[in-house]
Amino acid sequence: MIISHIHRYLFIEIPHSACTAIGQELIDSYEGKSILAKHATYPEFLRQASEEERTYFTFCSIRNPLDVVATKHAHVRRPRDEQAIAAYRKRNRRIWREVNYVKRHDADFERYFRHFWPLVYVNRCAALPPDIGFVIRYERLHEDFAEALRRMGLTRVRDLPVVNRSEGKSADYRSYYQTAGLRKRAARVFGPFMGEWGYAFPEDWFPVRVPWWSYLVYPVETAVRCLYYRFQNRHVVRMQARAGMTEMRY
C-alpha cells in the first residue's frame, strides 16, 4: 500500500495487476511511501488512518482474472530448488502448496485450474471502498496510470517501467483456455467477477453461459472474504503491537 501526504493519495495494491511497478513508480517519482503490508487491504488502512487520510484520493489496479490465473500457473511452474520451495512455506503457504502440487504432478494449466479454483472467483477487490476514486486496468496500464495522475493533478514523469515480468507464460492468456470444458468452468468461476468489473469473455467463446447459481454464490463468497480481511486486519495489528512497529512491508 502506497500513500503520499504531499499529494494526498492512497494506492491499494491488488496482486497480479502491475501493482509492484505502479507502487515503485509512485515512490520514485510522486512522493509516495509504503505503509502496512504490500497487499494490505483498505480495512487494514482504516484501522490506523486519521480522519484526514481517509479523505485522500484512493485508487488501485485490477486485471482480467482469466489472465491472472494463467499468470499464476506460469509463476508456480518456474523451476525452483527445494530450499526455495521450503522458503515459501514461511512467506506464503498458498504459493507453497501450489508450487508443491504442480511440481509433484507436473500439472498442466487445466489440472492446476481445476484443483485450485473450484469456487467462484473473488479477490481483494472485495475489500475496496465503494467510492474508490479510480481503477487502473492492467489491459491499458499506461493510459490509465496517466489518467490517475491527471485526476490527482500530477504530470506523468515517464512511462511505467517493466517489473516482475512473468517467465514462461504465453503472451495471450486465451491460449490457456482451449477446451470447451475449461471455458465452461471459467464461465462459472469468473463470470460474476468479470460482470461486476466490466470484463468480457473472448469473442470466439460465445455464447458464454454463466450458471445462475454462480451469481448467487458470488455475494456470499464476497462477504466471507470481507470477514476474512477484517480478521486478518486484527491479526496484523496485533503483530505490529507486539513488535512495536507502526509500519510493515512484506
Question: What is the residue extent of each domain of the chain?
Answer: 2-243
Domain 2-243: CATH class, spelled out: alpha beta
**In the structure grid, which three cell numbers stand for residue 188, read together?**
462459472
Question: What is the pTM for the complete model shown?
Answer: 0.84
pLDDT of residue 98: 87
Whether omega before 192 lies within 30 degrees of 0, making that bond cis, reads no
Q: Write down the pLDDT at residue 23.
A: 95
**Distances in whole angstroms, Cα of residue 55 to Cα of each of 2, 8, 10, 136, 227:** 15, 8, 10, 19, 24
- The residues of the chain scoring below 70 in pLDDT are 80-81, 83-92, 163-171, 231-250
Q: What is the pLDDT of residue 71?
A: 92
Give the list of residues 6+ apart from residue 127 with CB closer than 8 angstroms, or none.
41, 42, 43, 225, 226, 229
Report which DSSP code applies to 54: G
